[in-house]
Structure 1
């Protein structure tokens, strides 16, 4: 099938239903973002038209999917002009030409430009273009502030005075500082009569013009050395991105993330802050390194506490402080090499996930006859393709999870999780596999509540149960028990199938290469992944001779009957 035909097929889809709009959005972003089709006018117009009907979580997921792709400039523009929470992955990773960046900058919000200022790979032309927006990004228009024209001139004069090489006398007002730093040019006097002279902005413009002429003729003065700053305060949003700074230059710090999965190649924090962020916990004297030549450059020790909305308990970010390390302290963060195996694996996972999603989507369109009538034979084959693609996506997700754990980039949101309903749902999903194997899962009647990220707990139990069910045989019964071992631990014990009886202890973790292994990535890989994920959740996976015991933090203290 030609790419043009693919694009026309997607554009011809029914956009009258939410499902059709969401499907068209995902497919167009994937096709254009991976440059499988050009960013044609009609395709981009369709994306702009349906964007308002696509929920922010779907747009955000599409933006994250582009993080390791190479989207063209029109698609970068579309996402860069979206809400900043959606635009950040594209702004951090997009690779377009300097000319395309410079053309895009005027249409970006100040916050979006602040994200770009933290990149170190845009080139000197783009950096100079970003610097030209400095005053615009920092000064509110008079319509918003209600300031008189003279106040607007004073603000502009202040910005120019800061740039002047000799304007540092605190006894001078803003206009005098400019006058002290550049030769004045004649300005037409105010006409006599009604007392209204030319608008004051003309004088400021004339002085700026004179300053640049003087600089060209006499050469630029050496810039003043950055002032020495020993501490500053900061606040982050719920994603760990610093949004407010006091006591140091904003441009070098705004946009930095406490989450290592979102960290750039330059300024970043260490794993102490990143680990605390995943647990929504406070941290002390974590290490931060800021690159550049501003007063914020160098090593810092940071401490912060989490902030929660008192109305609903939702995590809203961190408030913290930063200080320079003493001579007996170190503050440079440990770095994950850019070419590390975990990072390479995550890039490979992205390259696999996008086309697999597209295959599954098109197979589903054929199976449901969205594009027109299809014979039963082709519908059946499309169903098989969709099923196989979903299984492959599950394996890709497992690889991505393993890479995130290995690179300390797994984000977790602690909550209360009931185990019995979760196990019942997983068993129901495994019903076709159990029927094929001729086995069964016996769930307990009792229930317990654990503390952990719900999605991570569900994924841990699902992968563990699916692995054991895949190894079960005809007539075999896999029993599951749940018990509160102590005030701090809940134990979930699952019987080992007979097929794994020949592998005592931890040797079961190394059976990936066995020919009878029916799982896609291997039983050993699945169990190692479950063990590592259990550790990330604050628990453990113990492999016994007759059962596997998963221990997770308990959410209820039995001695007082309250959540801990």
Structure 2
């Protein structure tokens, strides 16, 4: 393991995930050597990957040294780990004194801690909240002498007593707050409490977000363009005073000396009454999705009939047919087959939008599925003069039904292959992670320089210029892949020169251990 190829960025991420997985599952010792290796890899592994690894600790009984390693990472990674890990009371009592206010704040949102740990958290009192600034005020006032406001011990005691008396009062929601992010879009400061539910949230969708919290595309797009924004939506989970719906606005900040982008500064407010139309919009959205499904059903019947009759003519099943008519029938059948595929995609998109997708359980061996899809796409590959390079066969699989996995991966590979130039080789790699098995695909040169937003925005006109392209357009195909991957518990990530489809991995079973390294 320690000699694994980790010089490349992809290799470093794979090695980091493998080490975490092996230590977490007790297949490797949590000794100083392996923990030091994790620390060495940390700087080369994106924070979003480390957060994902921290979250995966919810699926195992991780040893305390590994948990401590995550706790000593950035506040975002530490908070993700503390929300996920399962420890016994003795380990919690060892870990708790090592946590700062941010870590303890993350634990306060949990409802499954042992009673002794909850009592220990309560013993910190107001130190993690408003009164955490009182001692600093006393220190500052003492240094300022008569020139500043004087605080004495009696005043501080009275503040503590008032805090304890008011502890049982109903939570009063905040009306507004200000915030600042770093250059990566991660919120690092705000002027309100409790901070734990917001600190660490990112404005960049590509970096991942905390479960239950979200910013919309207005804020994310403005961050990527380093542009001001207003009226964006923010949702903060939980039952604290800062939880709920917000409208946020922000402006970019730049270093005056170098012009380097340093982050965003913004403010948040509660939505006005006229802005609380989400439920009505959701109902209208669901109704529109249902209407589209009915339309798809109406289209499917005649389309299938046309396909059937054209095949009867092409195969001369109703009697002899002249060659020109057979050729015409063959062309109609091919076009109708494409139309049927588009209808199925519309139906799938409508089911996802209407929250009516039927999930099926099952296990899908990766190598067999990829080989089958490659065989099905061989005519398209020949048409484009390109090649799909399969990963080496291995005992790995996805915890997804074969039907769902096939329609997801087939759409991804066909969309990529349809834009390939003659002689291009699209290479695939399987990369095991903590609870995931990723399919990494090197996209064709036509897509390599495009970012996620531009790929998703490709319209039908632009996409239809390529022979063999999806009938509904490349942008629609990639958006469908993204949405379907999310429905299946995974993610579709677009990075420069690399498409990555992450799906839940099979841990044990007919495909064996599916969390190994890259082939």
- Bucket of the pairwise TM-score, normalised by the shorter protein: 0.3 to 0.5
Q: TM-score, normalised by structure 1?
A: 0.44
TM-score, normalising length: structure 2: 0.47
Greater RCO (Cα-Cα under 8 Å, separation 6 or more)? 2
